[in-house]
Structure 1
Amino acid sequence: MSWNWQQPEWPHFTYDEQALVTPEKQFLLRSGEFIGAYRHISEDDRDMLRIELIGNEALKTSAIEGEILNRDSLQSSLRRQFGLGDDDRHIPAKERGIAEMMVTLYQTFAEPLDTAQLFEWHKMVMAGERHIEAIGGYRTHAEPMQIVSGSVGKSKVHFEAPPSSQVPGEMARFIDWFNDTSPGGKSPLPPLTRSGLVHIYFESIHPFEDGNGRIGRALSEKALAQGIGQPSLISLAHTIERSRKQYYDMLELNSRDFDVTRWLTFFADKTLEAQQITLARANFYIAKARFYDRAGDQLNERQAKVIARMFREGIDGFKGGLSAENYISITQTSRATATRDLHELVEMGALLRTGERRYTRYWLNIETGQKTHL
């Protein structure tokens, strides 16, 4: 059986619109919930949330491709680019490049797509690479662009993209389609549907030597942001990375099939899951503000230091909860003082206590809209 781009119907994918009606409604509803929550977050915490969400997406979209980046370097680069810090540490090329792409995506989501933007993204994603011939341009090599797994002699071709000679024409058509299906375009599509189609269409062309997955997911996020009229800050790569095998299986399945309903419903499910994570993180910052309104002026210096550290750990908190040993390590105080401080924090309702004796652990007493230890 031929690849999808070799078939007469290409690139007109088909799908069951009814299967996406409910997910599309849920997406818009949750987008509204996030926008509402975001407005209740202080300006400083918005900056922190934006860095956290964008940084996590950059880490996860790279991890999907098997590339592990340094979180601290990445976040330092993001703070620089948003004008939020003057950290002068050296930022490795890979962390700097993916951070630049994510910030550009955030700042220019509403602009129409064009070749120049794609080429700039590719330069950013490929920063520091030495094995790529065409950086900042479409692939030009004569050999087939294939996705292959397995050892030599036992390899399996999961997909073969159009030859390099066809890429400029295919991408010109893709860019026109992307802009025509935007909210202000000639043939607008619902945001979830459009975002899923963007990804399968772009990945089917596979226009670059490398970096297609990261750029394809960025395009999907651009489509989602255009659909709601503002940066989505959605944790899409986060949820895809957790279902990485299924993600690749679904892409392979639709590399030959023009009915992409199964792909679109899978993609919609991952997007809605991503929205829940994003909303939970926003609610965490709202809960933080309420916590300090309620208990901030009751904390002594040691307690304030530990509580601030617990909040810096983020929505997942200390792994396994805060222990007395953690408290002693952070404050450099005695065990007797730590025991007294922790007892006071529980009494005032700042912390919740679980377990007994050496298994005693402490958790921030905040309501985030989801059942989780923080």
Structure 2
Amino acid sequence: MTWNWQLKKWPQFIYNEEDFKEQELQFFEKAGMLYGSFQHIDADEQEALKIDLISQEAVKTSEIEGEVLNRDSIHSSIRRQFGLQTDHRRIEPAEQGIAEMMVDLYRNYEAPLTKETLCSWHEMLTNGRRDLIDIGRYRTHEDPMQIVSGHMGRPVIHFEAPPSKRVSQEMESFLTWFNHSIKSGKNELPVLVRAAIAHLHFECIHPFEDGNGRIGRAISEKSLSQSIGRPTLIALSNTINEHKKSYYEALESNNKDLDISDWISYFSDAVLNAQDETQKTIAFIIEKGKFYKRFEKLLNARQSKVVERVFREGFKGFKGGLSAKNYQKISGAPSATATRDLAKMVEIGAFTRTGELKSTRYHLNIKK
């Protein structure tokens, strides 16, 4: 098997910028809409949204790699780093590390990408690890860096990265390309093309012993932020995670050749979908504010507690809707009280009701 980095013209990727002009226009249009919508939220909600989006990306970029972390712990860690009040819970090293990396990405998106930045991110991500040889530095092991699946006796090799002895040189070339391809740079590239190539190129080098996927996605988000002059705060990892199989298939189908048109198209669509997800989240927050203005004084303590919990699920809400049993569990109310509470909320228009008997479900009465 020949990999793209073994080809004579590596890393001169082949694509036609004209093919992605429509996606580029959509990106900037949606970025403008997101920024405008963000301004319609009050300062406290803006701060909360910023924390929520960063937390979600931290959770989902880890989930893509099969690592399930505690969202509340990450949320608390991020709040602490922004100097906000927290619940002082104990944060596990992995959760603290990904939170630190995402906050650094947010704060320093304008700065050039350097080896020191990448190694610092790697050190954050591997916080508490004892199973790695190289932490906070490029890999040095002599064994091939391979992405493998299947049984021990019959492994399937999806990709093999350049040997460790080539990594420093490859990364020096990558960093030069990245910093020169920025807007108004020596070799400026269109925003989506640059972000897509940055991710694929980095993943093909696979410079670290672990954590390459999370760092690669962070590089893409840094690239997007640099292009619009502010943190993107889009749900990129969340969008990728919802279709994780397609993501890995797209990466694998573009690691053997230098023509990466399919990858750029795939990645551009992922970014546009992520923008849509974030737009829905902002619209949801605006509707949340309207909801509380209408109903806050009409709700008792039990109802308020349940409403707050449902809002925490985001614009998608509870899968299938809120059941009477959910209401009892959240509020601590007995069955008869829960039934009365729910009936009253439907009556005043706070909830809508669907289904009958055991299939009855309740939903927030907001625009989606």
Same fold (TM over 0.5): yes
Partner of 2:138, secondary structure, is coil
Q: Which residue of 1 aligns with 2:231?
A: 231
Q: Which residue of 2 aligns with 1:356?
A: 356
Partner of 1:109, secondary structure, is coil
Between stretches 98-107 and 35-44, larger displacement belongs to 35-44
Amino acid at match of 2:3: W
Post-superposition Cα deviations, 1:181-200, rounded to whole Å, max 9, x if no partner, equal 11131121121111100011
Post-superposition Cα deviations, 1:163-198, rounded to whole Å, max 9, x if no partner, equal 212211111111111111111311211211111000
> Aligned partners of 1:338 and 1:144: how far apart in 2?
60
Q: Which residue of 2 aligns with 1:345?
A: 345
> Aligned partners of 1:152 and 1:354: how far apart in 2?
50
Amino acid at match of 2:299: L
Q: Which residue of 2 aligns with 1:197?
A: 197
> Aligned partners of 2:309 and 2:208: how far apart in 1?
43
Partner of 1:148, secondary structure, is strand
Give 1:42 deviation, angstroms.
Answer: 2.2
Residue 19 to residue 89, structure 1, CA distance change in 2 (3 Å): same
Amino acid at match of 2:116: A
Q: Which runs of 5+ in 2 are unaligned?
A: none
Q: Which residue of 1 aligns with 2:96?
A: 96
Q: TM-score, normalised by structure 2?
A: 0.94
Q: Which residue of 2 aligns with 1:144?
A: 144
**Sequence identity (%):** 52
Q: Which runs of 5+ in 1 are unaligned?
A: 369-374
C-alpha RMSD over aligned residues? 1.9
> Number of residues paired by the alignment?
368
> Aligned partners of 2:78 and 2:256: how far apart in 1?
39
Would you say the 8 A contact 1:50–1:233 is kept in 2?
Answer: yes
Between stretches 164-173 and 296-305, larger displacement belongs to 296-305
Give 1:361 deviation, angstroms.
Answer: 2.0
Between stretches 46-55 and 318-327, larger displacement belongs to 318-327
- Is 2:86 the partner of 1:83? no
> Aligned partners of 1:150 and 1:343: how far apart in 2?
53
- Matching of residues 1-374 of structure 1 within 5 Å: 2-333=2-333, 335-368=335-368
Give 1:347 deviation, angstroms.
Answer: 2.9
Amino acid at match of 1:49: L
Residue 16 to residue 358, structure 1, CA distance change in 2 (3 Å): same
Give 1:335 deviation, angstroms.
Answer: 4.8
Amino acid at match of 1:120: S
Amino acid at match of 1:206: H
Give 1:211 deviation, angstroms.
Answer: 0.9
Give 1:151 deviation, angstroms.
Answer: 2.6
Would you say the 8 A contact 1:80–1:87 is kept in 2?
Answer: no
Between stretches 183-192 and 220-229, larger displacement belongs to 183-192
> Aligned partners of 2:225 and 2:329: how far apart in 1?
43
